[in-house]
Amino acid sequence: MGKIDSIPAKARCLGLVLLALGLPFGSANAADLPGAPAPVDVPPVERINRTWEFLIAPYFVAANISGTTQVGRLPATDIDISTGDILENLRFGAMIRAEALYQQRFGALVDIAYMGLGGSADIRAGGGRISVGVDQTIAEAMLFYRVYNTPQTSVDLLAGGRYWDINLDLNAQGTFVGNFDISRGDNWIDPVIGIRAFHIFNDKWSANARGDIGGFGAASDFTWNVQAGVGYHFNKTWSAHLQYKALSVDYDNDKTGTSSFAYDTITHGPLLGVAARF
């Protein structure tokens, strides 16, 4: 009787061992037991997948401008304008970029940046007052083709033009040489080609970069632009972007006398903007 009574106990012990090892025991096995839910990978925020996609992005560049300029019969003058100087003398500024993308492949963009500066000073010798104003408009219109496209990464080739309009105004009142108002400047369009890339790391962070070159002697001798930075995405529509941007141009209209104008500068600084994609 002792051996017969001990069989169920041994069977129960064997069943517990087999169950712990995940081996079948009778009609029950490990697959029948409740377990922890399988881990779920959360995909990063993907670009909106629509036939048409649009983007509106106002921004501001805390610019520094350095280089040389030459106007009329005046000699070439060095330029070294800091962000503080621009903010102190800024009369008006507006910067915005708009894009349209068709079937995640073909697109167009327009970028317009206007900055109006003005300042005045009293003349100690002889009295009077002189006011100086600078208006700078830079507008880009480009087509692009998406040569590489995944839910997280895209690469675009760009081609188009960059329009420049620079005006310098000098106004004098009550000076020893009398009153006068002089306005000089020029405008031109540079052909431009370039490349840009965009990558999404997760549902909040992304990175982007762009580079282009142009001019090629058609208008300016040469122009280039580089910018790169990161983006923070609040949702699939709204995001904020921080970049560093540098834009250079070397232009000379090859004229003489009062019509002469040359502008060889680099405008650079941090760029902060918001974007709405829909």
Domain map (residue ranges) of the chain: 2-32, 52-277
Tokens at 123, concatenated: 């003349």
3-state secondary structure 38-72: CCCCCCCCCCCCCCEEEEEEEEEECCEEEEEEEEC
The whole-angstrom separation of Cα 125 and Cα 268 is 36
**pLDDT category of residue 119 using cuts at 50, 70 and 90:** low
Answer for the pair 275, 241: CB distance below 8 angstroms, yes or no.
yes
Per DSSP bridges, beta strands 77-81 and 261-277 are: unpaired
Answer for the pair 193, 209: CB distance below 8 angstroms, yes or no.
no
The whole-angstrom separation of Cα 84 and Cα 115 is 14
Answer for the pair 113, 154: CB distance below 8 angstroms, yes or no.
no
**pLDDT category of residue 58 using cuts at 50, 70 and 90:** very high
**pLDDT category of residue 125 using cuts at 50, 70 and 90:** low
Which range of 77-91, 95-109, 114-128, 164-178 scores highest in mean pLDDT? It is 95-109
pLDDT tens digits, 88-103: 888 889 999 999 999 9
> With 80 as the cut, is the pLDDT of residue 17 above it?
no
Which secondary-structure segment (H or E) carries 171?
strand 153-175
Q: What is the amino acid identity at position 64?
A: N
Which secondary-structure segment (H or E) carries 6?
helix 2-20
Which range of 6-15, 130-139, 209-218 scores highest in mean pLDDT? It is 209-218
Q: Which residues of 207-226 are buried (b: 16+ CB within 10 A; e: fewer)?
A: ebebebbbbeeebbeebbbb
CATH 2.40.128.90 is right for the domain spanning 52-277: yes
Which of the two residues, 32 and 112, has the higher pLDDT score?
112
Per DSSP bridges, beta strands 90-102 and 64-71 are: unpaired
Q: Please state the separation of Cα 17 from the chain's center in Å.
A: 63
3-class DSSP assignment, residue 214: strand
Tokens 């965009």, located at residue? 198
Which of the two residues, 210 and 33, has the higher pLDDT score?
210
Tokens at 56, concatenated: 């509106």
> With 50 as the cut, is the pLDDT of residue 209 above it?
yes
Cβ neighbourhood burial of 34 (10 Å; 0-12, 13-18, 19+):
exposed
* pTM beyond 0.85, yes or no: no
> With 80 as the cut, is the pLDDT of residue 121 above it?
no
Longest Cα–Cα distance of the chain, Å, equals 133
**pLDDT category of residue 234 using cuts at 50, 70 and 90:** very high
